[in-house]
Structure 1
Amino acid sequence: MTIAKEESIKSEGIDSDAADLARLGYKQEFLREFGSLATLSFAFSIMGVSASIPSTFDTPMLSGGPASVIWCWAVGSCFCMTIALSISEIISAYPISGGLYTSSKFLVPPRYIPIVSWITGWLNTLGQIAGFASTDFGCARLIAAVGTLVTDGEYQPSAQAIVGIYVGILILHGVINTSSTRFMAVVTQYFVFFNVGTALVIIIGLFAASPSANKMAISDIFTMVNNETGWTSDSVAVLLGLLSVCWTMTDYDATGHIAEETHKAAIRGPVSIITAVAGTGLLGLILNLAFVASSNNINLPGPTALSTVEILFQNIGKNGAIVILVFIILVSNFIGISALQANSRMVFAFARDGGLPFSSFFGKMNSKLNVPVNAVWVIIIISIIMGLLNLASAVAVNAIFSLATIAMDWSYCIPIVYKIYYCHITKELTFAPGPFTMGPRLGLVINIIAVLWTAFVSSILVLPTVMPATVDNMNYASLITVGTLFLSVVWFYLDARKWYKGPKGNIDEATVAEIKYADIIQAS
């Protein structure tokens, strides 16, 4: 390629981000509107600790008691960081909207790309949708709880009413996500302040206003176990509490899914993920301590069916609890909006590569908004169907929370496992790190811990939360995950393998070669 050709590439406006994307085989389709603050805020918002803990607190508290709440969060958040670090290193090397799905293409030999990418894509898509659905379902429960609180317990929402609220929230988030990228970036950058601010208000409010009768002894906070699950083993009951921390700290790669909308994505993405996980871990531990320390002698979960709402009511009073719940609901909505944005980018990326039914429709970009509108609304429809589990039982619908964690975490671990094997053990492939790297030795150790942790926690999250297990209270997470995976693999070998070749890119090889050659010229 001539110097003149190199200059023509620059004149076409191919900046460093677009060039990085082109090296991976994709052209720039999204508008890059996310800066440092918006990206960090997005990463914090996807976890939304001040709303995620109120939505999932009942699982550890009612399953294993205070000890489950505190120790599952403290230990779990440390191990979750190993997944976050492993993902951050991969996202830094491959900053693309497909996230770990597209990255898997570069971590396995060519002969395995189709099947590995296919399974990773389906698991990630399933987990992302379940994560979004469970977030909005938790928001619906919070809104219903406010109704119960306002009416002094007279209003007790039916399962149908909660589903109705849930559908309304889904539609609202769908409309918001049909907005331009610039609008989403401007709005998103303020989410972090609501999230952290709300958590601090709850913590200060509970510690300051809690009457002495409601204050739990320090020894009980860390050692008390209340096994109300029906499991004969207290250890199992305590470990069931891992759902809260694992659900809150999943969807790490959401920031990676907006990589094509982020300036300097290769460094801002990883930094935002790691900062958000560390901040969420610390803030979440203090928030859990505040709730547990203020729950002595309180009958949980109370009339609202949410322990955190009852704790706020008994300690801060009705009016104070309602005000705080309004902010918690706002944060919950912020999580849902962010989750849907990341989710729609994953569906778009997978469909763009031909990995979904009706891919040409779901992989279509709205030319006016530069947003995958079709992908947004198919997610809304599938989420509505998932929410119908609540009509079966409140226990059954909790499977969506476990499903989100299991499916997403394994969609992360598949590329990590292959990175360990092909880049570290056989050295058949070479991993070229991006700006963020842990180095080969530390990276290998962290990668192995992340995989072992995921295997362990998955074995816990598929267990029934109540014994004896029945059709009504069964944990359907494993059935849905394995069923979806089985059907996708059958489809692949019967038909899809004939035409699906993995992430295929949408830019010709000649252009990729030209940009890489321009790198060589510039380096020399």
Structure 2
Amino acid sequence: MELSANGDSQKSNDVAGAINVDCPSIHAVQLDELNAADRALAEHFGYKPVFQRHFGYLSTFSFAVSISGLFATITTTFSYPLYAGGSASAVWCWLISGLGCMCIACSVAEIVSAYPTCGGLYYSVSRLAPKEWVPSISWAVGWINLLGQLTGIASSEYGSAQILLAAVSMARDFSWYPTTGMTVGVTAALTVLTGLINSLPTSWMEKMTKTYVIFHFSVLLACAVALLVKTEEKHSAAYVFTHVDKIPESGWNPTGFSFLLGFLSVSWTMTGYDSTAHISEEIKDPEIIAPWAIFLAMASTYILGWLFTIVLCFCMGDVDSILFSPIGQPVAQIYYNSLGKRGGIFFTVAAFVIIQFVCFTATQALGRSIFAFSRDRLIPLHRIWIRIDKRTGTPLYAIWISVFGIIAINLIALGSYTAILGVFNVCAIAFDWSYCIPIACKLAFNRFKPGPWTMGKAGIVVNAWACLWTLFVSIIFVVPDFRPVTPQDMNYAIVYIAAIALASVFFWYVGGRNYYLGPVVEAEVQGTIAENSITFRGLDGIINC
């Protein structure tokens, strides 16, 4: 939605009237009182600045790296390619799938550079699609992205609990193993901890985030070196790069198709690209720093993840012994076998710390997303979730509704572990589609105006491959992981996706299309009030409480 430079904007007034905004205040602010980023947010995107901009280059890059949680997410997902086809599946699926993920990441970075708001890709639809299509497409992208974030954090918290309990089992010499109920209980406790950390002021989060990338990469390097030095019987290079199980553990036939299931591990690790966009209103120069952070973080994850996967394949020993490890974590079992009890516990706990930090930063992004969606009245009870706490400068209500939602999702595991795995598979599908719908709009409607970070003419090829790759891997994500398919081995992701899609369409036609008009304009440049000033309409609920 464009803002007029002088005089009233009729379109903005129409939108404000249509949504029946209850304005607690209407006031003008001199443009020179705002920093460059806040001025751009108000002038170009029509939003009132409410966050403090603490994040710089290092902390934003560290935040972007933390979303993938490379060392920890490989720990929790390495079993997928091993079940799919063995060592070769792990190595080559990472290389192939990582390239597709990089195309998505670059496409997202380019869009974020042009539209750096905490609504992320959801907001960009309002600039990329024809105006008459904006409400329906924004509605779909917003809810799909929210689903991806919720299920992604839920899966990370559950994986965090599994890794922590694996370390406890290792410390007790495997004389004790956690039950599903214990895992769910620890998951809930860790999720509450995540909520408490996110209740701190943004400046604290920025300081914590800044040191994370150093710790993460140090652990990754130390573990790779330790495994290569301490593992006595390593596999040969021929085995690592060419061995494919003739009869895959997944039970899928032909073997070539089973091989493709290894893409699951990579896509689960290399995702969440837009999480950095969701904190863009807390970054000092978001149109430059945010896209570079996304690109560099994903490139680092791609290269280092591939190399670390190769190290694990050299050092993993007998595949069956780690896949059916009594502690339920194949990579933790590799650490124990190669590095002994102390080394195994150390790197397993390090993986726990890293994946828990993934939950901290991802929940920060989720809280900002809920704030942004509420700002545009996409979410029920938006007046509550949009409130900013004056002590911390954070949307506390949005953070804690996220915490309760994540706990509720993980309670599904008490009824069926297979069912909760289906929820986790939804994560990558929802994320990728929430990215590729705006990318497809960019290609189809030619309305994109690039920001400082752009791929130029190469962007068309990269964008197209991102969409095609997402379509391809989405089929893999909904295929059952094992055959023969039984209720215990079923991939319930397709069931959840169908149910959520039907619910979204239903609520859109029942009520959404009657009140939701897409991203809202809160600010106008108003020459009639004061020279070089901007008028802010105080949307209901955007207050310090």
Same fold at TM > 0.5: yes
CA-CA distance at 1:279 after TM superposition = 0.5
Q: 1:184 aligns with which of 185, 190, 205?
A: 205
Q: Secondary structure at the match of 2:322?
A: coil
| TM-superposed deviation, 1:394 | 3.4
Superposition RMSD in Å: 2.0
| Cα 1:474–1:513 shift into 2, 3 Å | farther
Distance in 2 of aligned mates of 1:258 and 1:55: 27
| Contact 1:25–1:509 (CA under 8 A) maintained in structure 2 | no
Cα distance in 1 for partners of 2:329, 2:530 equals 58
Contact 1:136 1:333 in 2 (8 A): yes
Read off the aligned partner of 2:241 and give its amino acid letter. F
Matched position secondary structure for 2:273: coil
2:71 counterpart letter in structure 1: S
1:371 aligns with 2:417: no
Instruction: Quote the residue 1:219 is aligned against.
Output: 238
Distance 1:105 1:449, change over 3 A: same
Q: Could you tell me whether the CA contact under 8 Å between 2:164 and 2:352 is conserved in 1?
A: yes
Equivalent position of 1:409 in the other structure: 432
Q: Tell me the number of residue pairs that the alignment of Structure 1 and Structure 2 aligns.
A: 504
Match of 1:93 among 95, 114, 118: 114
Alpha-carbon distance in structure 1 between the residues aligned to 2:204 and 2:533: 36
Report the secondary structure of 1:28's partner residue. Answer: coil
- State which of 28, 49, 60 in structure 1 corresponds to 2:70: 49
In terms of mean alpha carbon deviation, does 258-267 or 383-392 score higher? 383-392
* Aligned pairs for 1:190-205 within 5 A: 190-205=211-226
Q: 2:359 maps to which residue?
A: 336
Equivalent in 104, 112, 134 of residue 155 of structure 2: 134
1:446 alignment partner in structure 2:
462
Structure 1 residues 245 and 517: alpha-carbon distance in aligned structure 2, compared to 1, 3 A threshold:
same
Q: How far apart, in 2, do the equivalents of 1:113 and 1:515 lie?
A: 33
Task: Write out per-residue CA displacement over residues 20-52 of structure 1, whole angstroms, 9 at most, x where no aligned residue.
Answer: 211111011111010111000000111111111
Distance 1:513 1:90 in 2: 33
Aligned mates of 1:194, 1:478 — CA distance in 2:
37
Residue 25 of structure 1 corresponds to 46
- Superposed CA deviations along residues 33-87 of structure 1, whole A, max 9, x for unmatched, are 1011100000011111111100111111223211111111111111111001100
1:474 lines up with 2:495 in the alignment: no
Percent identity of equivalent pairs: 36
Distance 2:529 2:312 in 1: 57
Distance of 2:528 and 2:270 partners within structure 1: 36
Task: Tell me which residue corresponds to 1:269.
Answer: 290
Contact 1:194 1:327 in 2 (8 A): no
Normalising to structure 2: TM-score of the pair? 0.89
Aligned-pair CA distance for 1:514: 9.1
Superposition map of 1:475-514 within 5 A: 475-508=491-524, 510=526
1:9 equivalent to 2:26? Answer no
Residue among 163, 170, 181 paired with 1:149: 170
Matched, 1:420 2:436: no
* Residue of structure 2 in register with 1:353 after alignment: 376
Opposite residue 432 of structure 2, the aligned amino acid is D
Match of 2:475 in 1: 459
- TM-score (norm. length: structure 1): 0.93
Counterpart position of 1:522: none
Quote how far apart the aligned CAs of 1:90 are. Answer: 0.4
Unaligned runs of 5+ in 2: 7-27, 535-545
Contact 2:527 2:533 in 1 (8 A): no
Matching residue's letter, 2:449: A
1:367 Cα deviation after fit? 2.6
SS of the residue 1:190 aligns to: helix
Kindly report which structure 2 residues correspond to 1:366-405, keeping only aligned pairs within 5 A, or say none. 366-405=389-428
Moved more, 385-394 or 411-420: 385-394
8 A Cα contact 2:439 2:463, kept in partner: yes
Q: Are the counterparts in 1 of residues 29 and 533 from structure 2 also a CA contact under 8 Å?
A: no
* Counterpart-to-counterpart distance in 1, 2:122 and 2:363: 17
> SS where residue 483 of structure 1 aligns?
helix
